[in-house]
Amino acid sequence: MEDTSLDQCIAELKEHWDGLNSQTIIRCRATLERLAATNRSETWLADLHKERSISKELYRDPKWGFTLLAHVETQGLYRVPHNHGDGWVFYALQFGQVQMATYGLLSETNTEAQLLSRGADIMHPGDCRAFLPGDIHDTRCMSDYSLMFRLTSCDFSREKRLGRLRQFESYAE
């Protein structure tokens, strides 16, 4: 049986993963760009487009703890500015268009954070972005739906529980 592009991607991620460093970022980004360029005729990818699950885990690495997920979002869905705590993440767009804006934390009090927008860009199929620990960004689905692969360095639910993953709800668009 021939390996799928997903099988090849997972093998490459396992080979290239070496913690947070420039080589890991460069190699994993290139691997995810190839995955995002996969033809929808591969059964596993056709199934993702057909199911349109909000989130589906594709692989969880038992050694390093990184997770590869597929996400489907619908037009207009907006995720407020957030970071991923001590974790880091790659977003690779397979289908659709997603707007991503990045922010700097200008000031912070006990009750409010003031963010400064660095601008927004539209992601197109095949694009991949990496966000490092503490980077703040938002997302908005600009097409009927989008299918995005998300590679996370760790379990983000733990980052959220520990209060390190932050959502900036008070930021006015």
State the pairing for strand pair 128-131/67-74.
unpaired
- What pLDDT, in 10s, does the model give residues 5-47? 999 999 999 999 999 999 999 999 999 999 999 999 999 999 9
Distance between CA atoms of residues 164 and 162, nearest Å: 6
- Name beta bridge partners: 95: 147
Chain-centroid distance, C-alpha 162: 20
DSSP string, 83-139: --TT--EEEEEEES-EEEEEEEEEEE-SS-EEEEEEEEEEE-TT-EEEE-TT-EEEE
- What pLDDT, in 10s, does the model give residues 115-158? 989 999 999 999 999 999 999 999 999 999 999 999 999 888 88
- What pLDDT, in 10s, does the model give residues 161-173? 887 888 887 654 5
Q: How sure is the predictor about 1, in pLDDT bands with cuts at 50, 70 and 90?
A: low
Prediction pTM value:
0.90
Domain ranges across the chain:
5-161
User: Domain 5-161, what fold?
Assistant: Jelly Rolls (2.60.120)
